[in-house]
Amino acid sequence: MTGKATIIGTGSYLPRHILTNQELEKIVDTSDDWINTRTGIKTRRIAGAGEETSIMASQAAYKAMEMAGVTALELDMIIVGTITPEMVMPSCACLVQKEIGAENAFAFDVSAACSGFVYALEIADRYLKNAPDMKILVIGAETLSARVDWQDRNTCVLFGDGAGACVVTGSKAEDGLLASQLYSDGRLWQLLSLDAVPRRYCPVVDYGTVPERNSFCDGSAFNMVGKDVFKYAVREMGDAVENLLNREGITVNDINLMIPHQANIRILKSLAERVNLSFKKVYTTIQKYGNSSAASLPIALDEANREGRLQKGNLLLFSVFGGGFTWGVVLWRW
Ligand SMILES: CC(C)(COP(=O)(O)OP(=O)(O)OC[C@H]1O[C@@H](n2cnc3c(N)ncnc32)[C@H](O)[C@@H]1OP(=O)(O)O)[C@@H](O)C(=O)NCCC(=O)NCCS
């Protein structure tokens, strides 16, 4: 029981189509100023044909495997955090397995909303404690644009699509997952939920065609009490960070970079303030990609990695919050 997870490769995939706030002004009664001021979001990516959840996940996986120097046949396990798989059955993870040819792996999805990637990473870590030689593909992938109600300005402006992936194996040194704590509270499910509705594609998914307002879509998909979600997200992630750091005897000044779930720039600023972390140490992609649920953290991690923001030995904090409610925090030595 000595192993712990370390990341040996990261990758991400973003859909080609960029949906701007100005385009959203043509779809619902909103404005660039409102969206930018309330959320920090300027653009988000929208998946089109050939960019289904499992395909984006596979593209991100290829990049992570290339960086790790690991072939698909070497993979022992694939876990995908997602709430927007193509189908209820088979899992997105099985479709990824087929797509990349990971014939020796077993595969399953984790449904923990925006916390899905961190939940999956934690599960991988538990396996690696017993079998540190395993090579595990951990993915967060979402096609939220196919589920949101494009008439509901309260929600449709917030979300985007994409996928991020990591190849994880047992650490032989000091690096890797140092500590983690996951939480959920099903009593609060009604504050943020997503109906099991058929796919409904974004009106601009055909690239460039924005139909008349209210001429598409058929009712509510996301149910969200935005103010309450905001309040709980800041409070619970803040408490989770403080509890984990206290438990591990680490001060917030020791943290080199926080890579959080990207839900809202104001949530991230409030969280940083609450835990006394300089906002300069918070990595953000929300401006470009909006909230891509379970995909947002691994996309941000991959971008930070490829930009050279992550130096060997750096102490990282991953913090997530999502529907369920689910939330969690991970302390990671890069
Ligand atoms: C959704 C959120 C941005 C709304 O911001 P807010 O400051 O709480 O805004 P309010 O809910 O007070 O809405 C203010 C007004 O803006 C309106 N509004 C809502 N969406 C709008 C939009 N896209 N464009 C313009 N106006 C909008 C509301 O109808 C309301 O109007 P009213 O005062 O006439 O009733 C914010 O609550 C939030 O980010 N919550 C967390 C959501 C989240 O992160 N969910 C995923 C978690 S993983």
Mean pLDDT over residues 198-206, rounded? 57
pLDDT band at residue 179 under the 50/70/90 scheme: very high
Q: What are phi and psi of 98, to 5 degrees?
A: -65, -45
- C-alpha distance from residue 19 to each of 54, 80, 170, 273 (Å): 21, 25, 39, 30
> Which atom of ligand 1 is the closest one to the Cα of 233?
47
Q: Is the pLDDT of residue 275 over 80?
A: yes
Domain extent for 185: 1-210+218-334
Query: What percent of the chain is modeled with pLDDT above 70?
Result: 92
Whether 291 is catalytic is yes
Are the C-beta atoms of 232 and 188 separated by less than 8 Å? Answer: yes
The DSSP code for 200 is -
Out of 21, 264, 291, 305, pick the active-site residue. 291
Q: Is the pLDDT of residue 287 over 80?
A: yes
Ligand 1 neighbourhood includes 326 CB (under 6 angstroms): no
Domain of 326: which CATH number? 3.40.47.10
Whether 261 is catalytic is yes
Q: What is the DSSP track for 67-99? A: HHT--GGG--EEEEE-S--S-SSS-HHHHHHHH
Q: Where are the beta strands (DSSP E) in the chain?
A: 5-13, 17-20, 43-46, 77-81, 106-110, 136-143, 161-170, 176-184, 192-194, 222-224, 257-260, 315-322, 326-333
pLDDT, tens digit, 9 for 90 and up, residues 210-222: 444 333 444 457 8
Among 38, 118, 224, say which to mutate for ligand 1: greatest number of ligand atoms within 8 Å of CB.
38
Mean pLDDT over residues 57-65, rounded? 98
Out of 92, 94, 114, 156, pick the active-site residue. 114
Looking at residue 202, its pLDDT comes to 60
Average pLDDT of the residues of the chain: 92
Mean pLDDT over residues 310-324, rounded? 97
Looking at residue 216, its pLDDT comes to 41
- Which pTM does this prediction carry? 0.94
Choice among 17-31, 186-200, 269-283 with the minimum mean pLDDT: 186-200
**End-to-end CA gap in the chain:** 21
Mean pLDDT over residues 117-130, rounded? 97
Q: Is the pLDDT of residue 126 over 90?
A: yes
* Residue count of the chain: 334
pLDDT band at residue 297 under the 50/70/90 scheme: very high
Q: Is the pLDDT of residue 265 over 50?
A: yes
How close is the Cα of 292 to the center of ligand 1, in Å?
17
Q: Is the pLDDT of residue 230 over 70?
A: yes
Cα(136)–Cα(76) distance, rounded to whole angstroms? Answer: 6
Q: What are phi and psi of 116, to 5 degrees?
A: -55, -40
Mean pLDDT over residues 275-297, rounded? 98
Q: Whose CA is nearest to atom 48 of ligand 1?
A: 322
Q: Is the pLDDT of residue 5 over 60?
A: yes
Out of 92, 156, 217, 261, pick the active-site residue. 261
Cα(198)–Cα(300) distance, rounded to whole angstroms? Answer: 29
Whether 202 is catalytic is no
Are the C-beta atoms of 122 and 330 separated by less than 8 Å? Answer: yes
pLDDT, tens digit, 9 for 90 and up, residues 234-247: 999 999 999 999 99
Ligand 1 neighbourhood includes 183 CB (under 6 angstroms): no
Structural domains counted in the chain = 1
Cα(232)–Cα(179) distance, rounded to whole angstroms? Answer: 23
pLDDT band at residue 75 under the 50/70/90 scheme: very high
The tokens describing 192, both together, are 């943020």
Q: Whose CA is nearest to atom 29 of ligand 1?
A: 154
pLDDT band at residue 200 under the 50/70/90 scheme: low
If one compares 130 and 205, the residue with the highest pLDDT of the two is 130
Q: Is the pLDDT of residue 98 over 80?
A: yes
State which H helix or E strand residue 25 sits in.
Answer: helix 21-25
Mean pLDDT over residues 242-269, rounded? 97
Q: Is the pLDDT of residue 207 over 90?
A: no
